[in-house]
């Protein structure tokens, strides 16, 4: 974890979800069963489990892709190695990241979509964003939005080339930061693009320090 995370102290003894004004759509979303048949047909044959982690008033929006298997099991977003890397990029500790009064995590698909034939996560089903995303965005007013990976970048910015979108981050900052997915699968991408860690990450941490 970066030393920058020390700028965001934890709130000891506080439940980040307690007493927060919940968006009307949240209860509906938790009960969503649109993809029952789709998920039953995957290798894991799992049930839908929407991971809902947002509240009105959050200053930062993390627009991510979809939960992985570990998140499906925990019910808590980014409880995996990609979450550690993302929090390092942001310069925040776990208490800040999971404080829904400050950070809203709204993926393009709210349930784990299953695995493809090669063992990689399937893409988020488009029906999820079509059904829920506009309603949620209407009730959120973040000061900073992080677009994690190609699906979020396409939905929010209409751009298809992830590398070009991230390289052009200055066109959108400080309100929006397009980012690669923090998965270990993108480690080679990070090595090929050292400007990301050297230029974008410090500016992202600086912006979040001011907002949070």
pLDDT tens by residue, 95-128: 999 999 999 999 999 999 999 888 888 999 999 9
CATH number at residue 117: 3.40.470.10
Per-residue pLDDT tens over the stretch 146-177: 999 999 999 999 999 999 999 999 999 999 99
Q: Is 15 inside a domain boundary?
A: no
Q: Is 6 inside a domain boundary?
A: no
Chain Cα centroid distance, residue 184: 16
Question: How many whole angstroms separate alpha carbon 69 and alpha carbon 88?
Answer: 22
In this predicted structure, what is the pLDDT of residue 2? Answer: 38
Q: Is 5 inside a domain boundary?
A: no
Query: pTM of this prediction?
Result: 0.89
Q: Is 8 inside a domain boundary?
A: no
Per-residue pLDDT tens over the stretch 4-39: 333 333 333 333 455 667 888 999 999 999 999 999
Domains contained in the chain, number: 1
Percent of all residues in the chain with a pLDDT value above 90, rounded to a whole number: 85
In this predicted structure, what is the pLDDT of residue 120? Answer: 84
Q: Is 4 inside a domain boundary?
A: no
Q: Which long-range contacts (CB under 8 A, 24 or more apart) does 199-203 make?
A: 200/166, 200/169, 201/89, 203/169, 203/173, 203/174
Helix (H) or strand (E) holding 30: helix 25-30
The domain of 24 spans 20-211
Q: Is 59 inside a domain boundary?
A: yes
SS3 label, residue 187: helix
Q: Is 11 inside a domain boundary?
A: no
Per-residue pLDDT tens over the stretch 173-192: 999 999 999 999 999 999 99
Residue 83 pLDDT class (50, 70, 90 cuts): very high
Overall average pLDDT of the 43-67 stretch: 96
Of 46, 58, 54, 65, whose CA–CA distance to 29 is shortest?
A: 54
* ∠ Cα 99 25 11 (to 5°): 10
Overall average pLDDT of the 48-71 stretch: 96
Q: Is 183 inside a domain boundary?
A: yes
């Amino acid at each position: 974890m970066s030393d920058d995370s020390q700028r965001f102290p934890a709130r000891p003894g506080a439940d980040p979800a307690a007493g927060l004004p919940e968006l009307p759509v949240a209860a509906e979303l938790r009960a969503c069963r649109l993809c029952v048949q789709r998920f039953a047909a995957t290798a894991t044959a799992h049930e839908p489990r929407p991971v809902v982690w947002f509240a009105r008033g959050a200053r930062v929006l993390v627009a991510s892709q979809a939960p992985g298997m570990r998140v499906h099991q925990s019910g808590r977003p980014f409880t995996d190695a990609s979450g550690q890397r993302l929090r390092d990029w942001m310069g925040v500790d776990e208490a800040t990241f999971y404080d829904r009064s400050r950070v809203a995590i709204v993926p393009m698909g709210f349930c784990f979509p299953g695995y493809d034939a090669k063992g990689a996560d399937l893409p988020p089903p488009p029906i999820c964003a079509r059904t829920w995303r506009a309603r949620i965005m209407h009730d959120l007013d973040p000061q900073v939005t992080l677009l994690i990976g190609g699906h979020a970048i396409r939905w929010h910015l209409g751009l298809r080339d992830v590398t070009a979108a991230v390289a052009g981050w200055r066109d959108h900052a400080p309100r929006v930061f397009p980012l690669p997915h923090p998965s270990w699968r993108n480690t080679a991408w990070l090595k090929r693009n050292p400007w990301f860690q050297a230029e974008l990450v410090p500016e992202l941490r600086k912006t979040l320090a001011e907002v949070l």
